[in-house]
Structure 1
Amino acid sequence: MRQSLSTVFLMTTILIVGGCASDLDEDTYSRSEARAVQTIRTGTIESLRPVNIEGTKTPIGSGAGAIAGGVAGSSVGGGRGSAVAAIAGALIGGVAGAAAEEGITRAKGVEITVREDDGNTRAYVQELGPQHVFRVGQRVQIHTLRGTSRVVAVP
């Protein structure tokens, strides 16, 4: 019974942490960004550099891991030993859950340096969508909303 309960908690942890992943590519908008006015600037890509975008670090991963680890640990031994194992399992599970969340939500991205038409040069970092490839010399638009910008290929 405790083994199946541990399995349920582990699967729930994976689903919750996976659900925390957010898309940072040019085609994904949050619900709050929909229908909001954006400022558009145009420019030309001067350089591209691959980067890693670190994963999220919320209490969800560590909390779910701690619960799963505590449940798994409590199934070890009996009495006082079971309580100690539950505490150790919760601590180890919390650390493992946090690491799993960060790893699952980590992404490959690109730093896009753009010479904008106003003469300024700015760099933008974003996740690459699966069907989008930028190239040096390409014309792009920079969409900015509430201080957050994204680079979009000019159609």
Structure 2
Amino acid sequence: MSRLRLAATLSLLSITALSGCANMYSSESAAVYSKSDMRQVHEVEYGKVLDVKTVKMEGDKNDLLTLGGTALGGIAGSSIGQGRGSAAGAVIGAMVGGMAAQTMQRGATKDAYELTVQTDKGRTISIVQEADVPISAGQRVKILTGNGTARVLPM
């Protein structure tokens, strides 16, 4: 295997591994609470689900992963040619590596629900959250709001 192929293969494997780590701790799930949600007062409201629509939630942008892709692309590109060719390869490789890392991050979508809920107080609200807690139309739910977030949980 040539040096260029080896560098490119290692770069892609590293970006893929890092992108998996990036999403490990971020969640838009109704069942996952951030540290800033702990010991905070949340308003509780009850209601009935009118509609559940499955949507896609785009992947998170992570500047560290983009920087890693840029660096790895630059290293891989620098193995092309000698002298100025190597420098030009490094610049082009860095640009391609950074763009590839960003594209991979945006493409890492998750399933989500757009929930339309009729509250017992007569309001109709819509909340989008990760589709990991089963919720169906007609179901009674609890809506928690506070700390700038809202979540719908089955009763």
Using structure 2 for the length normalisation, give the TM-score. Answer: 0.87
What pairs up with 1:130-141 in 2 under 5 angstroms? 132-141=133-142
CA contact (8 A) 1:17 1:60 kept: no
Maintained 8 Å contact 1:46/1:115:
yes
Distance in 1 of aligned mates of 2:96 and 2:71: 10
Residue 124 (structure 2) aligns with: 121
1:35 alignment partner in structure 2? 39
**CA-CA distance at 1:60 after TM superposition:** 2.5
Q: 1:46 aligns with which of 24, 47, 50?
A: 50
Q: Where does structure 2 lack aligned partners over 5 or more consecutive residues?
A: none
2:19 aligned with 1:17: yes
Which residue is equivalent to 1:76? Answer: 80
Q: What residue is the counterpart of 2:64 in the other structure?
A: 60
Paired residues in the alignment total 151
Tell me, yes or no, if the aligned pair for 1:61 and 1:100 is still in contact at 8 Å.
Answer: no
Distance 1:34 1:7, change over 3 A: farther
Shift of 1:61: 3.1
Contiguous gaps of at least 5 residues in structure 1: none
Aligned with 2:86: secondary structure?
helix
- Paired with 2:88 and 2:49, the residues of 1 have a C-alpha distance of 58
Residue type matched to 2:61 in 1? K
Moved more, 51-60 or 40-49: 51-60
The answer to whether the 8 Å contact 1:16/1:60 transfers is no
Equivalent positions of 1:91-130 (< 5 A) are 91-104=95-108, 106-129=109-132
Moved more, 115-124 or 46-55: 46-55
CA contact (8 A) 1:74 1:85 kept: yes
Query: Which string of whole-angstrom CA distances, capped at 9 and with x for unpartnered residues, describes residues 45-95 of structure 1?
Result: 011111111111232232111111100001111111111111100011111
Question: Could you tell me which residue of structure 2 aligns to residue 145 of structure 1?
Answer: 146
2:117 alignment partner, SS class: strand
Q: Which residue of 1 aligns with 2:90?
A: 86
Cα shift readout 1:83-122 (whole Å, capped 9, x = no counterpart)? 1111100011111010011122x21111000000000000
Structure 2: distance between partners of 1:6 and 1:36: 47
Take 1:98 and 1:79, find their aligned partners in 2: how far apart are those partners?
29
